[in-house]
Amino acid sequence: MPSISFEFFPPKTDDQRAQLDRAAQALKAHRPEYASVTFGAGGSTLSYTGDTVARLHTQHGLNVAPHLSCMGGTRAEIAALLDGCAAGATYYVCGPEAMMAEARSAHAARRQASVAPSAQPVQIRKAGVALDVIVPAGATILDAGLAAGVRLELSCAMGGCGACAVKLTAGEVAMDEPNCLGADERARGTILACVARPLTPCTVEAP
Ligand code: FES
């Protein structure tokens, strides 16, 4: 089934913000999978884009994908925008091949740095039984669960098939990206145990 998304330009005045609210309210009726927010090619909307993303998400309940350009902002400002993205967010890169390779490399380095430096406790609930496991720093919930004897489903073990999907009911994880999860699944709290590394103490429900 085709999915629908809408793209918004960041408003800069109160009148424009009111107009955005009216448009978002009307367009929600079409049940978009997500909304995207543009970003001036020269970085002219550096702060407005983040504000608009937060507004569409918190006030209108939309999944939101901000555009992000590396122009017009300092390294710290761009990092702050990325830090504001949800754990498990999907990133798409476009541009000349060499630039995309640089962006992927920088993103991988950030993701590695974001992995919790210490082991995290994770409670795995399955068939009415709760088991507490310690996930070593950098390890996945799947690896730790299997090592503890939990019968977790798996197939590809690399984020491509969805066999290891579990529901995150508490805590925060970082997942290797890209993976096969769709926006709807992410919104429901689904994570892939084979590529999910806990950033905080977590609780997950396994099927
Ligand atoms: S086992 Fe295939 S996505 Fe985890």
Domains of the chain, by residue range, sit at 5-85, 120-206
- The pLDDT, as a whole number, for residue 113 is 62
> CATH says 120-206 is which class?
alpha beta
- The pLDDT, as a whole number, for residue 27 is 94
Q: Is the CB of 185 under 6 A from ligand 1?
A: no
- SS3 track for 12-42: CCHHHHHHHHHHHHHHHHHCCCEEEECCCCC
pTM above 0.85, yes or no: no
- The pLDDT, as a whole number, for residue 15 is 93
Q: Which atom of ligand 1 is nearest to the CA of 161?
A: 2
Closest CA to 56 of 87, 22, 84, 83: 22
Asked if residues 131 and 142 have their Cβ atoms less than 8 Å apart, the reply is no
Report, as ranges of residue numbers, the positions in the chain whose pLDDT lies below 70. 1, 40-47, 71-73, 75-76, 80, 83-84, 86-88, 109-117
- The pLDDT, as a whole number, for residue 90 is 74
Q: Which atom of ligand 1 is nearest to the CA of 154?
A: 1
Choose one of 146, 151, 161, 197 to mutate for the ligand 1 pocket test, by most ligand atoms within 8 angstroms of C-beta.
161
Q: Is the CB of 174 under 6 A from ligand 1?
A: no
Q: Is the CB of 152 under 6 A from ligand 1?
A: no
- The pLDDT, as a whole number, for residue 124 is 97
Residue 178 preceded by cis peptide, ω within 30: yes
